[in-house]
Amino acid sequence: MTEMFRCRVDKAVLKRAHEISEQMGTSTSELVRIFLKAVAKTGQLPFTPKAESEEDEMLGPLERRREMLDYFHEN
Same domain membership, residue 18 and residue 4: yes
How many domains does the chain fold into? 2
- Given a cut of 60, whether residue 16 has pLDDT beyond it is yes
Same domain membership, residue 60 and residue 31: no
d(CA 70, CA 65): 9
47-63 pLDDT, tens digit per residue, is: 876 656 665 665 556 66
Domain range holding 35? 1-44
d(CA 60, CA 50): 5
Predicted pLDDT at 75? 56
Predicted pLDDT at 73? 72
Same domain membership, residue 30 and residue 10: yes
Q: What value does the mean pLDDT take over residues 13-36? A: 94
The percentage of the chain sitting over the pLDDT mark of 70, rounded to a whole number, equals 73
Same domain membership, residue 13 and residue 34: yes
Same domain membership, residue 37 and residue 2: yes
Confidence (pTM) = 0.62
